[in-house]
Amino acid sequence: MSDVADRVKKIVVEHLGVEEDKVTESASFIDDLGADSLDTVELVMAFEEEFGIEIPDDAAETIQTFGDAVKFITEAS
Amino acid sequence: MFDLTGKNALITGASGGIGGAIAKALHGAGATVALSGTRVDPLEALAAELGERAHVLPCNLSDGEAVDALPKQAIEAMGSVDILVNNAGITRDQIFMRMSDEEWDSVINVNLTSTMRLCRGVMRPMMKSRWGRIINISSIVGATGNPGQVNYAASKAGMVGMTKSIAYEVASRGITANCVAPGFIATAMTDKLTDDQKDKINVQIPAARMGEANEIAAAVLYLASPEAGYTTGATLHVNGGMAML
């Protein structure tokens, strides 16, 4: 697994308090990992901080799964 | 009683009677304050009176870009905004049948839209720090209505609904959002009334007098305090019993 994926996973595990093996490529933050809409905003804020990037609101809305987040951040950073 | 040492507060309308009293109360409890308003001289005078831990950040709340910039300026000056007090407000009184779009828009824009913008501007850092206090100064007329103040009453009632919705969204993050709704308060504005006019007002108030600005400030101080962490989405009516809501 890439360095980006490891760092994203760490944030997700810490923030949502889920088991690491639940955070799979296709895991949806809301449907599978128990996030509410405010959690997803906070995850995006945490990604921005960790990777020093800016994720605009319209892009943030497309980040639904762990895989989406890794893909977006890999492309952006 | 309430200790705000280490907390940073942004107060709009700090050049006015109520805003100045709020700034003094929060500062007196140990907070660092950023004083905002349109008139620089009274802000500077208040900052000089307070001494340390006081910053002056002039802002015209009818200018959307300036409003969006204000939280950032406050964070630059103080390091954070832990307490936001939206106190600034304007009136453009007119009987409803004659009310122009401009009179409506200007009051809604300054009183309601700028309050929304400032709340939005401080939300992200408050979420991160898991602590925040938003206190919006509404008005008794937002609950009771008042002839000649369709625009003002709508803006103040809108503030209550907005504040409750914000309170819902962020309650789990240690952020509270509340309103204080003053009744008749003795300020420069009410000083202009004649004794006869004042008497007519006072008979409608069970306490039989106008309120003092520091009685509003005391309510704000409570809502800003760590002790008020379980009070959110509330409107604290401070009106001498004029409307018991």
**Which pLDDT value is given to residue A77?**
81
Task: Please count the structural domains in chain A.
Answer: 1
Closest CA to A40 of A56, A58, A23, A63: A63
- Helix or strand holding residue B10 (H, E): strand B8-11
Cβ-Cβ contacts under 8 Å, B169 against chain A: 38
pLDDT, one tens digit per residue, over A1-17 is 579 999 999 999 999 99
Q: Is B127 on the interface with A (CB under 8 A)?
A: yes
**Which pLDDT value is given to residue A1?**
58
Asked whether B237 and B138 are in contact (CB, 8 A), the reply is no
- Helix or strand holding residue B44 (H, E): helix B40-50
Which of A15, A37, A40, A41 should be substituted to probe chain B, the one whose Cβ sees the most B Cβ atoms within 10 Å? A41
Q: Is B8 helix (H, G, I), strand (E, B) or coil?
A: strand
Residue B192 pLDDT class (50, 70, 90 cuts): confident
**For residue B240, how many other CB atoms are within 10 A of its CB?**
21
Closest CA to B118 of B140, B141, B88: B88
Strands B32-37 and B8-11, by their bridges, are parallel
**Which pLDDT value is given to residue B191?**
81
Asked whether B206 and B240 are in contact (CB, 8 A), the reply is yes
Q: Which of A38, A42, A45 sits opposite B169 (nearest CB)?
A: A38
Count of pairs with CB atoms under 8 A, one residue in A, one in B: 10
Contact B172 A38 (CB under 8 A): yes
pLDDT, one tens digit per residue, over B1-38 is 899 999 999 999 999 999 999 999 999 999 999 999 99
Q: Is A38 on the interface with B (CB under 8 A)?
A: yes
pLDDT, one tens digit per residue, over B66-84 is 999 999 999 999 999 999 9
Residue A44 has pLDDT above 80, yes or no: yes
Residue A26's domain comprises 2-76
Q: Which residues of A are catalytic?
A: 36
Find the closest chain B residue to A44 by CA distance.
B124
Find the closest chain B residue to A41 by CA distance.
B124
Residue B5 φ then ψ, to 5°: -55, 130
Cβ-Cβ contacts under 8 Å, A42 against chain B: 127
Asked whether B18 and B187 are in contact (CB, 8 A), the reply is yes
Q: Closest approach of chain B CAs to the CA of A67, in angstroms?
A: 24
User: Domain containing A39 — which CATH number?
Assistant: 1.10.1200.10
Q: Is B241 helix (H, G, I), strand (E, B) or coil?
A: coil
B44-48, B181-185, B194-198, B224-228: range with lowest mean pLDDT:
B194-198
**DSSP 8-state secondary structure symbol assigned to residue B172:** G
Q: Which residue has the higher pLDDT, B196 or B9?
A: B9
Asked whether B219 and B164 are in contact (CB, 8 A), the reply is no
**Which pLDDT value is given to residue B86?**
98
